[in-house]
Amino acid sequence: MEFSEAKKRIAFLRSELEYNSKLYYELDAPVIEDTEYDAMLKELTALENEFPSLLSEDSPTQHVGGAANSQFKKVTHALKMESLQNAFSKEDISAFTSRVREAVPNAEFVVEQKIDGLSVLLEYKNGRLVRGSTRGDGITGEDITENIMTIKSIPHRIDSGVELLEARGEVFMPKEVFLRIVEEQQANGETPFKNPRNAAAGSLRQKNASVTAERELDIFVFNLERSSNTFSTHSETLDFLKAQGFHVSPMYTVCKTDDEIMAQIELIGESRAGLSHDIDGAVVKLNSLSERRVLGSTNKFPRWAIAFKYPPETKETTLLDIEVGVGRTGVLTPTAVFEPVQLAGTTVSRAVLHNQDFIDEMDIRIGDTVSVRKAGDIIPEIIRAANHKEGSVTFKLPHDCPSCGEPVVRLSDEVALRCVNPECPEQKRRNIIHFASKGAMNIDGLGPATIDQLIDNGFVDGISDLFSLTKEKLLTLDKVK
């Protein structure tokens, strides 16, 4: 279905669903069958999955707060799933540790990564996973068992000797998967996920668990909430959970002094860029479980743990150029090219500018001083443009395709400009690259460089040509041995 058609259909389905839901629940006067209602809801969910940029908070598919059409049941947590107090400096950490030491003089702490994802509770009875739920407001969450079951690293069965086990973890989307999905969304002219956390939350709270399964989510379990086994320390529980087959918080270290704690926090901070997942801080927790009980909680936070938040890194640099590329679906994508800067451990010199609206909103001009940061510590983005040079103008995307020269079009309701020429060379090239890529056919050894050679030699013009390649032709390429 075309984007504009989908938009109309979605609007129709939403108003029908809302109207009928009102008739049923408020006026107790349904005019359609439940199955008809469910079918419309299902169709709407499918369309919103296909066109995520059309998904909005007020859609009937998103009414989970006890609304009648919600497919997520409410779960009341046996233990309150607390959130943590934040620390932003060494002083905040010292204040926390001295408060703890007042009650527990020889306190031992564990420092671990704070994974940036969605907090969930996993419940096992007699070794079987019986329920998975979201944190919600800490007291009441949503039953997402079906979706949780699709996450490969969550064991469905554990050592049957354990009668009761409740573990808390953070579901996240690995950076690699996130980047692949965002690329896909950009190629389709959709609004991409903002960061891996949004992507994980959106993927986990899907009505259709098979969509969740496709998103390749993962989990790190970071706390044993309740268990029929007894343990004396947090690090013991993590070792136990690991032995049961769970992915547990990576890099957990036991520390005594403030210096040791700060060194570990810094070490985690420096490792961020190289991690396969996104973190939004480090957590410092009291190791002894009995001492945790001594300290207890305020009405908001546990007194035995604190979250250290790393400051967001923003750099200023000069915008040198804006390059316009053509994606495999013909979408024109402007990319900012700036003086290289160091950000979150890597050198960055390019950032995607999405579309003309994005450029207009910030009034981006070549020669500007731009502020760059990494969204979710992964994707560089421009957040501000200043110091316009005299005589400069807001950058405008071209009227003609930079690859084939055909006029570009702006489809109604779309923010993107597209080249709609089916013979556009750059679109064809991108299509072949995508076809061979990991997210699609995953053809070993057929990377962009080899594909460029195949095209330049006239061996390949479209995907179908890949199937008629001969050994003789391939051996003439210098990248293939």
Residues forming contacts to Zn ion in the complex (CB under 5 A) are 401, 403-404, 419, 421, 424
6 burial level (CB within 10 Å; 0-12, 13-18, 19+): middle
Exposure string (b/e) for 280-296, b if CB count within 10 Å is 16 or more?
Answer: bbbbbbbbbbebbeebe
Closest alpha carbon to 247 in 175, 169, 131: 169
Where does residue 379 fall: left (phi above 0), alpha (psi -120 to 50 degrees), or beta otherwise? beta
Q: Measured from the CB of residue 320, what is the shortest distance to Zn ion in angstroms?
A: 25
CA–CA separation, 370 and 348 (whole Å)? 13
Q: Measured from the CB of residue 165, what is the shortest distance to Zn ion in angstroms?
A: 57
Q: Quick one: tokens of 200?
A: 């994980």
305 burial level (CB within 10 Å; 0-12, 13-18, 19+): buried
- Which stretches of 225-384 are DSSP H helices? 234-243, 258-271, 289-295, 356-362
Which CB, 149 or 420, lies closer to Zn ion? Answer: 420
Q: Are 240 and 231 in contact (CB under 8 A)?
A: yes
Closest alpha carbon to 331 in 221, 469, 448, 434: 434
Which CB, 244 or 421, lies closer to Zn ion? Answer: 421
Which CB, 237 or 403, lies closer to Zn ion? Answer: 403
Q: Measured from the CB of residue 331, what is the shortest distance to Zn ion in angstroms?
A: 11
Which CB, 351 or 424, lies closer to Zn ion? Answer: 424
CA–CA separation, 431 and 445 (whole Å)? 16
CA–CA separation, 308 and 92 (whole Å)? 9
Q: Measured from the CB of residue 465, what is the shortest distance to Zn ion in angstroms?
A: 19
Q: Measured from the CB of residue 408, what is the shortest distance to Zn ion in angstroms?
A: 8
Q: Measured from the CB of residue 400, what is the shortest distance to Zn ion in angstroms?
A: 8
Phi, psi values for residue 465, rounded to 5°: -65, -20
Q: Which residues pair with 370 in a beta bridge?
A: 317, 385
Which CB, 273 or 455, lies closer to Zn ion? Answer: 455
Which CB, 404 or 474, lies closer to Zn ion? Answer: 404
Which CB, 20 or 186, lies closer to Zn ion? Answer: 186
Q: Measured from the CB of residue 468, what is the shortest distance to Zn ion in angstroms?
A: 25
Find where tokens 């391939």 sit.
474
CA–CA separation, 14 and 47 (whole Å)? 11
**Could you confirm whether 80 is annotated as catalytic?**
no
Which CB, 261 or 401, lies closer to Zn ion? Answer: 401
Q: Measured from the CB of residue 423, what is the shortest distance to Zn ion in angstroms?
A: 8
Q: Which of 7, 42, 80, 114 is catalytic?
A: 114
CA–CA separation, 157 and 148 (whole Å)? 13
Q: Which residues pair with 407 in a beta bridge?
A: 400
93 burial level (CB within 10 Å; 0-12, 13-18, 19+): buried
Q: Which residues are designated catalytic?
A: 114
